[in-house]
Amino acid sequence: MDLGGTYYNTKPQVEALETLLRKLPDPTEPAAPAVERPKPRRARQLDADQVQELIAGYEAGATVYELGGRFGIERRTVSNILHRYGVPMRRRGLSPEQVDDAVHLYNLGWSLARVGGHLGVDHTTVLTKLRERGIPTRDTHGRPRS
């Protein structure tokens, strides 16, 4: 029984292993120093004056994204602060006129994403409003959903 035969040629495997060995560092040299990584920072805390300024900014119409950028905090942190202080949150939805516009554009063949982009809302908001109006929706290929 011939185990190797014509298909038994180890030369390519040996060459590949030798190439890999050449890429490895010399075992006699000392190991490279550890990579310096920044230490995790403590979350930025706003003082009472900054919190009042943040609330005033939100009530004046600034978005949580704008306030987050201004104060150097995440937009979720802005929302948490506003909730903690009982500030009513603005919800960007669609007015009845915008829903009428969305229905019209969707019936013209626009995608949910395109309608949402046009109206400045997420496509799921458009989908929800279309369903509330009983508008039949299409699948991703433009076919009516069954």
Q: What is the mean pLDDT of each run of 10 residues along the chain (146 residues)?
A: 64 89 84 81 83 93 87 90 92 85 94 89 89 89 76
Cα–Cα distance for residue pair 78/73, rounded to 1 Å: 7
Q: Cβ(137)–Cβ(127) under 8 Å?
A: yes
For position 31, what pLDDT does the model report?
A: 80
Tokens coding 131: 């369903």
pLDDT of residue 80: 93
CA trace torsion 15, 16, 18, 21 (10° rounding)? 180
The predicted structure's pLDDT at residue 63: 83
Q: Would you state the pLDDT for residue 97?
A: 92
Rounded-to-integer distance, Cα 73 and Cα 68, Å? 5
Angstrom distance (rounded) from CA 125 to CA 115 = 10
Whether residue 90 contacts residue 59, with contact meaning beta carbons closer than 8 Å, is answered with no
pLDDT at 12: 86
